[in-house]
Amino acid sequence: MFKFFENKNIDFIISGLGNPGLKYKNTRHNVGFMFLDFLAKKLCIELNSSKFNSNYCKTKVEQKEVILLKPQTFMNLSGTAIVKAMNFYKITPEKLIVLLDDINFNVGKIRIRTKGTHGGHNGTKNIIEEIKNKNFLRIKIGIGQKPKRNFDLASWVLSKFTTEENEILSDVFEKCYEAIQLIIRNKLELALSKYN
């Protein structure tokens, strides 16, 4: 009788950050999850496997084997899920691509970073703590600044996008995918110059 062994030849992990559950679905803080849903639909696959405290699937992007990963640990513990997948597939930080929300940018803007501090984002902070490395690639997706200075930050990031903003996000997600394609094709500098 043959025993099944999972193929571990993975080139990249692409992880979107967010919080699990219907309460948080399509909120600003979950824009990383929203992108992965968009990408899965574009690639005609489903994120329906469970492992590493995550929903995930395997697919190909630019002829490379990739894992799409949605941690189910809640935002502040994203790194505990991501590090499990990285260890299993022996992925180095340079082959990790994380998509997350950023309140410093308007909806419609993305910013690619190859390293750096967490910048106050708790999901990024936990990833840095867990993988013990700051040199992983981040694609930050603008979710807009608080409407008023004294507006509660938690209430803002957990609010839903407007209909108009969701239409803008469709174009943003296409840009994110194009950037990922360039990165996987080893054209990082072109991605940085084109989308930053």
The set of catalytic residues is: 29
Residue 144 one-letter amino acid: G
**DSSP secondary structure of 154-176:** HHHHTSBPPHHHHHHHHHHHHHH
Handedness of CA 57, 58, 64, 69 (dihedral sign): positive
How many residues comprise the chain?
196
For residues 27 and 159, give the distance between their C-alpha atoms in angstroms, rounded to a whole number.
5
